[in-house]
Amino acid sequence: MDDNLEDSPDSGDVAEIVPAEVRTRLERGTHSVLVDTRALEEVRRRFDDEQASALGRYLASAQSHNTLRAYRTDWCAFTAWCLAEGRHSLPADPVDVAVYLAAAADTVGHDDPAHWALSPSTLERKAAAIAAVHGAHGLASPTRSDVVRMTLRGIRRQRRARPNRKRPVLLHTLEALLAERPAPGHPTGAARRRDALLLLAGFAGALRRSELVALSFDDIAVDTDAKTGDPLLVVRLSATKTDQEARHAQQVALPRGRRSTTCPVCAFAEWADAVQAHRDGGAPGLRAFLDADPQARDDRAPSDPPAHRCHTYTGTDLADGTARPLFPPIDRHGRLAPRAITGRAVADLVKRYAERAGLDPRAFSGHSLRSGFATQAALGGAADREIMRQGRWTNPRTVHGYIRTANPLEDNAVTRLGL
């Protein structure tokens, strides 16, 4: 599945076509649409509540949170359409599903009638949601019929358009974004430090936005480069998009940067200091720490970067087993929330800094950090095997696409034509 689906705008468009009453019930519900509640009731009759609850909990965890959320929205949209048309949603007639998908394909955007509201990939996901719910209830999937498959094929053929890929954040773009961070000191200094680490970790680690928001201080360890003796960060990933069961214990290394302004280890040390001040002294402690920040009183030229922090940095006691989120929300008063930011917040952050830097925010997304790593690494001469290792890509074609974007003449016979 394409990483860009994470930043697809279609999910919002799908939610808009669901009636408000149905959408409210959807948001309040906690049960998975992929779990047959009637079957669980049968389990309760045969076993006890504790065993049935355990079964339901693990069944609900069979799919990722993002997949379940999308399937819930898609299923509610389909059932709302069936209700309006006087059709049965479960079990659904294959012709009804085909008509529903065709009608959805013809829907145009509310704000832009010249463009379709839903992409072919979103329509295929809607069909997958219908199939998943039927399968969970022991029913034959209507999407396997020829009329549904041919309808989807026809939609794909008519919509042969280039995918709307976002621009990658290259190194010079990253530096421009970092330059637009808020001022040091209270109350903006906390966001300044957090955002530096988020941008640098997302770029150097080729991290998806879902992976960024899932990180806690327990997942970060300070280590040493065996060749140079320089400090580095080892980031442990739990469940990822391509390893949803966390079977492979994936991790990425974030090395020391050449300059302190682009050094992930320095950024982590600066942010950890602020979080420790907040943990030990609350909001007043954080304010006092930020007000004492030397950068807030620094009168050096802006082009003169501060010295590295990471040379003698050995880590933080914030990795205490409490799963303290690495990237919490920060309000306008500089106060840290106890929870993690959302994936949407990561995308909004990238767009916000892009706009401040004079770039088109619509051209960037949360995925721009990950694609930027691959493209910049290719520009730097990295082999596809090296890029795949850091980015955890399993399909070489994905990486080759980034390499072609970075240098279309790489391994290209056109350079041998003698023109």
Domains located in the chain, CATH noted: 3-158 (1.10.150.130), 184-199+210-340 (no CATH)
pLDDT at 414: 80
Say if residue 152's pLDDT is above 50: yes
Give the whole-angstrom CA distance, residue 399 versus residue 389: 11
pLDDT digits (tens, 9 = 90+) for 36-68: 556 656 666 677 777 767 766 676 666 677 777
Mean pLDDT of the chain: 81
Helix or strand run (H / E) with residue 251: strand 251-255
Kindly state the average pLDDT of the residues 180-201: 94
Q: At what angle do helices 146-158 and 120-136 cross, to 10 degrees?
A: 160
| CA 122 from centre of chain | 17
pLDDT tens digit sequence for 330-371 = 998 888 999 999 999 999 999 999 999 999 999 999 999 999
Q: For the segment 213-272, what is each residue's pLDDT rounded down to a tens digit?
A: 999 999 999 998 888 888 899 999 975 555 454 455 689 999 999 998 999 999 999 999
156 closest CA partner among 127, 113, 114? 127
Overall average pLDDT of the 391-416 stretch? 78
167, burial (CB in 10 Å: exposed 0-12, middle 13-18, buried 19+): middle
User: In the Cβ-directed half-sphere of 186, how many Cα atoms lie within 13 Å?
Assistant: 17
If DSSP codes are grouped into helix, strand and coil, which group holds residue 263? coil
Give the whole-angstrom CA distance, residue 352 versus residue 203: 16
